[in-house]
Structure 1
Amino acid sequence: MTTHSPLFRLEADAARQPKPAPLLLVSLDGFLDAGQVRSTLAEHLLDTLEHEVVATFEVDDLVDYRSRRPLMTFDSDHYTDYDDPSLILYRMMDASGEPFLLLHGVEPDFRWEGFVEAVRQLGMAFGVRRMVSAHGIPMAVPHTRPVGTTRFASDSSVLGEHTPIFGQVRIPSSADSLLHLRLAESGLLTMGVAVHVPHYLAETQFGDAVVAAADALMDLTGLVIPTTDLVAMAGLTRGRIEEELASNDEAREVVEGLEQRYDHFVEGQRRKSLLAAEVANLPSADEIGAQLEAYLRDPEAVEETEGAEGPDEDDVPPAGQGGGGRS
């Protein structure tokens, strides 16, 4: 593999001998990320796990600066700082010592297909076989109920038992979602989780959703992610939310309404499951037809067979009462 490409530059050590890392975790800022799930999780991984830079993308070829202008610092009478955008591929070690790659930074505005091909080439160099991502989506749900998730994968068998809540929908695309599609077409297993964030918390950090994303990623991939700090952060954000609701009657009424709708939905799903179980225990059309044919041939024989199955529990006298047995 060459050390240079029109869209990325490999670090010297990685160019000489890329070290295998079979999993690629993608975290691209700039598109939908309710509750700051994606960005918070990526920053947590970089803060807590061992890592090294293995490739850097040429953002000047990928970013439209005028559509989302990077911030600068002006101090009194001069400029002091510039938040230059970046898109970096890291090789990381999870808490158990297993290697994986993290692609983190700004989502490209241009050359999406070229960007996907560059990521595919990097993946081949590092032996990537699976890709995964996580982000938050705004939903009409309350923060006081368990955090829901929508999991997806190019091979649905890896998801286990799950009940999709979305049918077929048309949604705006992203570089992240195009990576899922194209890498799956090239033979990789792609997986992801969209965490359901209360719509009224979409613009702020929602710690419970970040914890749910970390748990889902570990479940899907086998990664070992330290979550102690995330759980502590979730407790703090939950406390701030409750403080704000305590002083805002209108917001509290909105949350209470969402709680009622959520509880009704859950109860409806429970009843559907019970009904499905009851229907599954009903005799099939063939069984009903066979019983009808047997009855028409010999009604008395069918009645005698049914009676031989034994009395109902209601017909059995309690112990010590009746029954005609010896005392």
Structure 2
Amino acid sequence: MQDPTQLYRYETDTDPAAARASVMLVSMGGFIDAGRTQRLLTEHLLSSHEHTVVASFDLDQLLDYRGRRPMMTFDRDRFTSYEDPSLLLYRLVDDEGQPFLLLAGSEPDYQWERMVEAVTGLVKTMHVDLTISVHGIPMAVPHTRPIGVTAHATDPRLIAQHAPVFGAVQVPANWSALLELRLGEAGRDALGFAVHVPHYLAQAEFADAALAGLGAVAGVTGLRLATTDLAAAAGLNRAEIAKEVAGSDEVAAVVEALERQYDTFMEGRERPSLLATSISELPSADEIGAEFEAFLKDVAEDDSSSDQG
């Protein structure tokens, strides 16, 4: 492997020792980010908290430009701008002056393992104790009910308040997940939150999911993160969604079907729901699988009935 430190450079006015922080958030896209959860959360943090750039990565070594072509502006008879992709390590400060790091930008197309080594080196240099990621996943749930969060971590003690929902499954890899795996193998703490986004909003902005992700990060780290602007955006977003739903009988029928299924699933059971974010006792793995499959089947049948109607 080539020298991982050649993938990045410190900013000339940055002393790595002085930029240390115990928490690092990783926001680098990946296979999926339903509701644009990660992007909204990242933009909010950078707009709401004082920050500086600690290091920048050489994306010419990491990106497939033809696979993800950056945008350019052509004005009448000439090119006037180019949206230069970036991958930066920021140092932010929370509302009480506590520093934390944010690695944000384009997910690498190439050299994943070398990039993992590079970031692991930065984790050591910056004395990072906990690495965290947040993204959205589409789920058959309505936007009118509490938002669920699925947690994963290198050590179960990090997410003791979250119980697993699924058994062993194979999913397409993403770089942030690989980083979490490798950090765990190296004996370092890392965790992630997958926020449940209604499947019909997966391609739209769903600020409530970003707000839930922000709360999850604050809860596990103790950071005092600004919420006012994101909460306001979520309120406006909620109103826009309600307007869209009210304007379409078909969409309204789908949401109502999901609400019925969600409420039925949540009510009248002595054991906790599969969608709960805090579970102290769980049924067996077979019971979990059977109930979840039945839930999805009922939703699909209700959707089909709504379409026929």
TM-score by length of 2: 0.84
Aligned match of 1:236: 236
SS of the equivalent of 2:192 reads strand
Question: Whose Rg is larger?
Answer: 1
For residue 6 of structure 2, give the secondary structure of its aligned residue in structure 1: coil
1:216-241 per-residue CA deviation (whole Å, 9 max, x = no partner) reads 01111111111011111111011111
Shift of 1:15: 4.8
Superposed CA offset, 1:85-140 (max 9, x none): 10000111111111111000000000000000000111111111110010100001
By how many angstroms is 1:30 displaced? 4.5
In structure 1, runs of 5+ residues without a counterpart are: 278-327
Partner of 1:167: 167
In the TM superposition, what whole-angstrom CA distance separates every residue of 1:132-170 from its partner, at most 9, and x where no partner exists?
010100001000100111012111112233332211111
Report the Cα offset of residue 247 of structure 1: 1.2
The match for 1:303 is none
Matches within 5 A, 1:29-40: 29-40=29-40
Give yes or no for contact 2:17–2:126 (8 Å, CA) kept in 1. no
Distance 2:57 2:236 in 1: 36
Normalised to the residue count of structure 1, the TM-score between the two structures is 0.80
CA contact (8 A) 2:50 2:93 kept: yes
Query: Residue 7 of structure 2 contacts residue 61 of structure 2 at CA under 8 Å; is this kept in 1?
Result: yes
Following the alignment from structure 1 to structure 2, what is the Cα–Cα distance between the partners of residues 103 and 174? Answer: 15
Question: 2:219 corresponds to which residue?
Answer: 219
Q: 1:14-93 residue pairs with structure 2 within 5 A?
A: 14-15=14-15, 17-93=17-93
**Distance in 1 between the 2:86 and 2:51 partners?**
16
The equivalent of 2:152 in structure 1 is 152
Higher mean alpha-carbon deviation, 4-13 vs 133-142, is at 4-13
Counterparts of 1:169-184 in structure 2 under 5 Å? 169-184=169-184
Gap change, CA 1:5 and 1:15, over 3 Å in 2: farther
State whether residues 18 and 125 of structure 1, in contact with CA within 8 Å, keep that contact through their aligned partners in structure 2.
no
CA contact (8 A) 2:19 2:54 kept: no
RMSD, aligned CA: 1.8
Structure 2 partner of 1:317: none
Identity over aligned residues, as a percent? 51
CA distance in 2, matches of 1:161, 1:52: 33
Between 103-112 and 68-77, report the one with greater CA deviation: 68-77
Q: Secondary structure at the match of 1:170?
A: coil
Q: Are the equivalent residues in 2 in contact too, given 1:145–1:259 (CA < 8 A)?
A: yes
Task: State the secondary structure of the residue aligned to 2:267.
Answer: helix
**Using the alignment, how far apart are the partners of 2:200 and 2:77 within structure 1?**
39
**1:109 is matched with which residue?**
109
Contact 1:135 / 1:194 at 8 angstroms: preserved in 2?
A: yes
